[in-house]
Amino acid sequence: MTSSPGWPPRPRSPSPTPHPVRIRTGSRRKNSIPTSSCCSGRPAIWRNANSCPGWPTWSSPRWRPRSGWSARHWRTSAATSSGRWREAVDAFGSHELSDEEWEGFACRISYVPQSAGPEALADAVKAAKAELGPDTRRLHYLSVPPKAAKAVITMLKESGLVDRSRVVMEKPFGTDLASACELNAFVHDTFDESQIFRIDHFLGKEAAQNILAFRFANGLFEPIWNRNFIDHIQIDIPEKLGLDERADFYESTGAYKDMVVTHLFQVMAFVVMEPPTALEPRAISEEKNKVFRSMLPVDPAKVIRGQYVGYRREDGVAPDSETETFIALQVGIDNWRWAGVPIYLRTGKKMAEGQRIISIAFREAPRSMFPAGSGVGSQGPDHLTFDLADNSKVSLSFYGKRPGPGMKLDKLSMQFSTQETGRVGDVLEAYERLILDAMRGDHTLFTTAAGIESLWDRSTPLLEDPPPVKVYQPGTWGPNAIHQLIAPNAWRLPFEREWREKTPE
């Protein structure tokens, strides 16, 4: 998760007790289903500032006919909370809201403190339903950790707020197989799987969704999207940020549980899954789950765990902590398409750059006709690179002739960015897209109980026998051992050439 410089620190919570539940009320529009939304937990700007813009976006008249929507609550005073929320929208939103649009959203915010109990929550929801009509749906957004989620779900059940409802849950979805199964069983005791939306904001990004379009809408790459033509795959998500005052959370999770299981493996599934029978949630979820079932158990010998120098001096961190702030690993998919193709994943805190890339390395030609010194192969294999940043870039690198006499080759690239399409204004921030999909009941970009449990099952060898952490200096690319992990290949990051920026008109 990223935040802007100077963003207010999140206050610590003394216990996992859930904070007050908030409600949303909205207005009708033709061909839309009115929705009242309840958000449980700390105000989202404290827990996840990036999620804030999604709510007022769908309240705006520009978007409301598409979504139906509603409004939301705060646990602090209305003036303080509304101002902080507006700051988050301005900092992280993809669409600028006018003062009029903001006021149209803010006036719908109401507040129910947790201490008021289930009856007060039920009364508030009834009031929203009376305003919106009998067809109103409910969207419950649980911005709380798993322990607190159980208490909130119990309150929703006691309040009679389960029917015609959907519930959005944030990571982590357990910390191992047993806890994931236990959490899923608890939630399923109240909500059906079709009502549950486990959110992963990486899958809400335009670039992640573009992987599906790139693969399955074009005949160019899918025929070579297999072990015969692809040498290896890299999914690399380094972060420059540190803990951001999340030591209490991070000490019990670490980089693998926080990022790999909930984010990197989900992105990997889009890259390697088989073509779905249709572009609809059930078909896509089934293909993703097949990937997770086909994944080989994570081998601790192919994992590098790191910890940046100074981590143990952070407030809330044990002086002898073995929690990893960095992890790099090699995994494999045991099926006909991908057998023998290594997939390398890397993520960590306080690294040299903040990047989010997927790199597909193609096999080199079996024999070169070019003379020694021509340059072929000197800059690595051909790569197809997806940049998951907001600009949604794609690059294809290959060798081409250098202008001039003789036959000298250089690495060239073709690049594409959403900035060059003329439709930049249509790009949605990840949470804007995911909140809309949850309102619509579209599970395409959300994870399933079966998928999460499969991933924790494949993670068991690593969780039971993790290798010791290796230190690395802040501002670097991790421990030196990462190069042995990927040898004889090399990490795609840092890029030798910068992305081409759009030429000013």
Q: How far apart are CA 474 and CA 222, in angstroms?
A: 39
> Binding site for substrate: what residues are annotated?
201, 205, 239, 258, 349
Give the helix/strand (H/E) hosting 306. Answer: strand 303-308
263 is catalytic: yes
Q: Is 220 left (phi over 0), alpha (psi -120 to 50) or beta?
A: alpha
Q: How far apart are CA 293 and CA 333, in angstroms?
A: 9
Q: Which is the catalytic residue, given 140, 263, 383, 443?
A: 263
Residue with tokens 């999460």: 452
Q: How far apart are CA 402 and CA 412, in angstroms?
A: 9
Inter-residue contact 308 to 472 (CB < 8 Å): yes
475: Cα separation from own chain's centroid: 23
CB-count exposure of residue 185 (10 Å: 0-12, 13-18, 19+) = exposed
Q: H/E/C letters for each residue in 371-437?
A: CCCCCCCCCCCCEEEEECCCCCEEEEEEEEECCCCCCCEEEEEEEECHHHCCCHHHCCCHHHHHHHH
Inter-residue contact 91 to 53 (CB < 8 Å): no
Contacts of 180 (CB under 8 A, 6+ apart): 173, 174, 452, 453, 456
Separation in Å, CA 365 to CA 67, 88, 380, 408, 414: 50, 50, 12, 17, 20
Backbone angles phi, psi at 369, to 5 degrees: -90, -5
User: DSSP state, 458?
Assistant: H
Of 256, 259, 275, the closest CA to residue 267 belongs to 259
Of 321, 295, 313, 318, the closest CA to residue 461 belongs to 295
SS3 332: coil
Question: Nearest-5° angle of CA 13, CA 76, CA 117?
Answer: 80
Q: How far apart are CA 14 and CA 241, in angstroms?
A: 24
Backbone angles phi, psi at 358, to 5 degrees: -120, 130
Write the DSSP assignment of 63-107 as a string of letters: THHHH-------SS-HHHHHHHHHHHHHHH-SSPPPHHHHHHHHT
Structure token pair of residue 358: 């997927």
> Binding site: what residues are annotated?
66, 171, 201, 205, 239, 258, 349
SS3 367: coil
> Binding site for NADP(+): what residues are annotated?
66, 171
Residues labelled as active-site residues? 263
